[in-house]
Amino acid sequence: MDKILLAVDDTKGSESVVEILNSLLGDCVGGGCVPKNIILLYVERLEGRSVMGGLLLSTSETETLKESLKGTEYQEKLDQHAEKVLHYFKDRLEKRGFSGVDSLVRQGHPAEEILKAAEENGVEMIIMGSRGKRLQNLWMGSISREVANNAKMAVLIAR
């Protein structure tokens, strides 16, 4: 397996992503069975209920929101938080001997962005946590379930 995508955020579920990767491949570090590239993905969540009528934001509304946020202090804070989370997980992986770790930040609906990033980067497996901390997941459905149901590659959901 050459490329693995680890979808991470600031929840407990993401902690188990590193642990499961280490459990599966930790004994291989330095050997031939470790992926050449591990992509750490953090999605800045820019979706949710619209102000108008409680509807979900459409793709065009989400794109407008992305454009509106560019260069703002709010976007800067989102980016700083994303980098902090990615640095934390990259450090944990490197301390366990994993190399070839790249970081990627996307904006939008987490499941959609995870799937897009996985396909665009040609990954062979997605590893992600089973649930986040937000109650929003209850009305939206499980992000991990959506990824597992729509991915064209293997998906491992860590608990």
* DSSP code for 72: S
CATH, domain range 3-45+83-158: 3.40.50.620
pLDDT confidence tier of residue 70, bands split at 50, 70 and 90 = confident
Instruction: Residue 140: name the closest of 116, 109, 108, 106 by CA.
Output: 109
For 80-109, what is the mean pLDDT? 94
Question: Average per-residue pLDDT in the chain?
Answer: 84
Return the domain boundaries, the chain: 3-45+83-158
Read off the DSSP letter of residue 65: H
- Check whether 54 has a pLDDT greater than 90: no
Cβ–Cβ under 8 Å, residues 15 and 159: no
Question: 33-47, 66-80, 137-151: lowest mean pLDDT where?
Answer: 137-151
| Mean pLDDT, residues 77-103 taken together | 94
Question: Does residue 139 have a pLDDT over 50?
Answer: no
